[in-house]
Structure 1
Amino acid sequence: MKVTIKEVAKQAGVSASTVSRVVSNSSKISEETKQKVRIVMEELGFHINQNARNLVRQSTKTIGIVMKSSAGESLHDPFFPEVLRGISAWCHKQGFSICLTTGDSEEAIFQDTVNMVRGKRVDGIIVSYSKQKDKVVPYLIESGIPFVVIGKPYGNAESVTYVDNDNVKAAREAAEFLIEQGRKTIGYIGGPLTFEVAKYRLQGFKEAVLFNQLDMSGDYMKNPESPDFIRNAVHELMDLEAPPTGIVVIDDLTALHVLLVLRERHVQVPNEVSLISFNNTMVAQFSSPALTSVDTQIFQLGYESARCLIEEIKDPSQFKKSIIIPTVIRERESTIPFIQQ
């Protein structure tokens, strides 16, 4: 026979409304009372019909995650599985599930997002990137659904909750790390400038060059539009009349490509060229040589984005906020002080 809330309340010596609040983990109920009621629930075999509960509350207990590219590409990038791990950790604590976009193009990913919102499949959405002229964020603003962006949103940061690093500062510090090691000619290999993270990291690199009065032209700064052009960027840098003795690279996966091309050219890392990258993923730790990398605390980016979103789902009246996760340089084998040959 199915056990009811009233039977649990009678056995525990509390009201039915108190049992209901214990089920929803209300902060208005003391931990002592929660524990007492939960023991009775266990003894009587009381189980929550979560699906029915969600229907009554018009809640799916699910959040959507918008990937910046196809599932295959995203999961091959060591950044995304780690940010997903952070999101999942907080969602698990809060009893939420996750739903990923599966489209293999920008338009298909946008349509996945529309379907999640219109189909009421999710209570809120995390956008895992920030990109210029992207249709997702404007659509989410218009729809009114709670959402959070990982990365500073393009154009409307004040009206959107987001979680990010200070990418300008982090890139400036990465470049200055090489400069302090005696690398006075440094290059930069970034990514498509339509993504805000690439724009801000390039800005930070330029600030370090300007502040340290390095005599360098724009030829030392490359922003390949896709991984297919990384090889060309490395060759162009190393073919300069004064090739760089240090290179700042936008992320660990790109830095791995750079390492392979330098090895093909018989350029020794770190003796001839030091490399520093971003994100401090497993790629950085297990490449050869191991990469000095700016730890952007990817897990924490995901964890905080999920925390902010679920807080907004529970209380839509909250003010929009920005969370900046600090970064730190993890020094490894790909950087050493420069010794003039």
Structure 2
Amino acid sequence: MQSTYRHQTFTEKAMIVLALALAVVALVLWKLVGLLLLIFGAVVGACILQTCMTPLLKRGMPRWLALMIVVVGLTLLLAGISLAFGSQVASELEALTSLLPDAWEQLQERLQGTPLEPLMDNAGERAGSMFENGIAQFGMVVVSMGGSLVNFFALIVGMIYFAAQPSVYRHGLLLLAPIKSRSKLADALDASGKALRFWLGGQLVAMAGTGILVGVSMWLIGVPAPLGLGLIAGVLDFVPLVGPLIAAVPALLLAYTVSPQTALFALIAYVIIQQIEGNVLQPLVQQHAVSLPPAMLLFSLFAASTLFGVAGVLLAAPLTVIGFVLINELYVQREEGDQSPVE
């Protein structure tokens, strides 16, 4: 009887120690969330570099040489774009910051005395508070993830290191898993990396297409600062579902300053562009990538924004892609295999 009591006491103490250890680990991980996001951002960047390196690697080029060519090429490309369009983009973005408040005031003035006036006042207050909260969250993210030049340099170097020797970090991660599970985990990591590369490559093409279509259509319609609006639409298109809606707001406001008809044409243009992207561009460029259910993507955006703020919104889609593939490889397929009939 006394031996049983001692055994129960030891078990209870062991459970308490285990619970405390898990709580400490969870607290440490939460404190290091900025660093973890920075590491994941470097992984995403490495996947972009890997996508650009793939054609060179298929021709038998050494990895270090392919990586050097891609890094130098991307640097020269960004420098060329900056020299060619940097001043124009900067002037249009500056014009946007000065035109948007006036556009909002004009819209409020035209809606005075209408049933929509209280709704616009509430929308303005909510937009202002959301903007202030967003700026505050962005500042916290910059501090936590490393807004300094040193941390930005660490992000770039991490991207290059991950792209230069992915097998080293993959092997180190596998060593943390039990021996019996390493083979399955290796297949899951390979599948998730492949899916992320395909998704990122297709998303970058879709972003470029969306930005060009928005910029050209706004220029044809006569909306001010079309190049800036196209840039905003292309960048925000990285955030699925929510990004295109946010990008349409400044365009519609600026179009409304020209005339209500121009605003209507701009709205029609955005709807058509989103239809082209959703039904033509995305299926074409993402045909080899993982297909994410829209509801899962939407709720993952809300969850990531609640937990991690602005950085969570930016990285929610890549995190969802990896999580979706890992769950499918490690859990769903295993469950289906366990339930298959034995011959």
Bigger share in strand = 1
Q: Does TM, scored on the shorter chain, surpass 0.5? A: no
- TM bucket by the smaller chain? under 0.3
**TM-score, normalised with respect to structure 2:** 0.27
Question: Which protein has greater RCO, CA pairs closer than 8 Å, 6+ apart?
Answer: 2
More helix by share: 2
Instruction: Provide TM-score, normalisation by structure 1.
Output: 0.28
